[in-house]
Amino acid sequence: MSAQYSPESSNPGEAPLTDHAYDGIMEYDNPTPGWWSLIFIVTVLLTPMYLVYFHSRPDERSILAAYDASRAANLRLKFGKMGTLVADERTLLKFMQDEEGLAIARATFLGNCSTCHGKEGEGITGPNMTDDSYLNVKTLTDIPQVIRLGAKAGAMPAWENRLHPNEIVLAAAYMASLRGKNLPSTRPAEGTVIPPWPTATTAPTVK
């Protein structure tokens, strides 16, 4: 067989020629099959739905967020093994260093808290959690307390009945871990500057 181009070898079905000719090169009239075009048109018509769905609230709906959420759901199963965490200083300090615990907490945070506190805790309608100034917090253990009971007549909602107690402890540790990032915020620093968190000690307290 010759490696040279020949119309016969590239047109076994013998499609008719179109009247297009460019520099002597002819074009076969070989359109894509109807079923193929139909699938193509349907995908094009479906595109706006995906555009709106994924790009209107990208943080909550991205594939990464879905991954985080299902990972967190899986980790939540581990709460059974964790026992009920006590919201004391030791436990909070422990989980401020615990990668898995902080991952659960970040999913909780993005799902429930970031609308007010900002995606990175920088503050929107809620205060900036990355600086050293606090409104309702004087010591580390005040954080789970505020999360449980809320503050300012519900401006900060109470989460006691909406989150698992372990989720509250982990969210508190996560909030505490944001301190010191000092992210730029549209809000001025609120409240008073409090002493630094104590340094980490030993194992978490389990009831």
Binding site for ligand HEC (CB under 6 A): 112-113, 115-117, 125-127, 134-137, 143, 146-147, 151-152, 155-157, 159, 171, 175, 191
Rounded least distance, CB 39 to ligand HEC, Å:
43
Q: Which is nearer to ligand HEC, 94 or 129 (CB)?
A: 129
Q: How far apart are the first and last CA of the chain?
A: 82
Alpha carbon distance 68, 207 (integer Å):
28
Residue 206, phi then psi, degrees to nearest 5: -120, 135
Radius of gyration of the chain, Cα coordinates, nearest whole angstrom: 29
**116 in Cβ contact with 124 (< 8 Å):** yes
Shortest distance (Å) from residue 167 CB to ligand HEC: 8
**Residue 37: strand, helix, or coil:** helix
Are the C-beta atoms of 182 and 130 separated by less than 8 Å? yes
| Residue 157 beta carbon to ligand HEC: minimum distance, rounded to whole angstroms | 6
Q: Report the residue number, 94 or 117, with the smaller CB distance to ligand HEC.
A: 117
Return all residues near 84 (Cβ < 8 A) that are at least 6 apart: 165, 166, 206, 207
Q: Residue 72 CB, nearest distance to ligand HEC (Å)?
A: 13
Left if phi > 0, otherwise alpha if psi is -120 to 50, otherwise beta: which for 31?
A: beta
Give the phi and the psi of residue 44 in degrees, each rounded to 5: -65, -40
Choice between 140 and 204, CB closer to ligand HEC: 140
Least separation in angstroms between CB 116 and ligand HEC: 3
Q: Closest CB to ligand HEC among 126 and 204?
A: 126
* Minimum distance from residue 131 beta carbon to ligand HEC (Å): 9
Q: Are 146 and 137 in contact (CB under 8 A)?
A: yes
| Nearest CB to ligand HEC, comparing residues 55 and 152 | 152
Report the residue number, 39 or 135, with the smaller CB distance to ligand HEC: 135
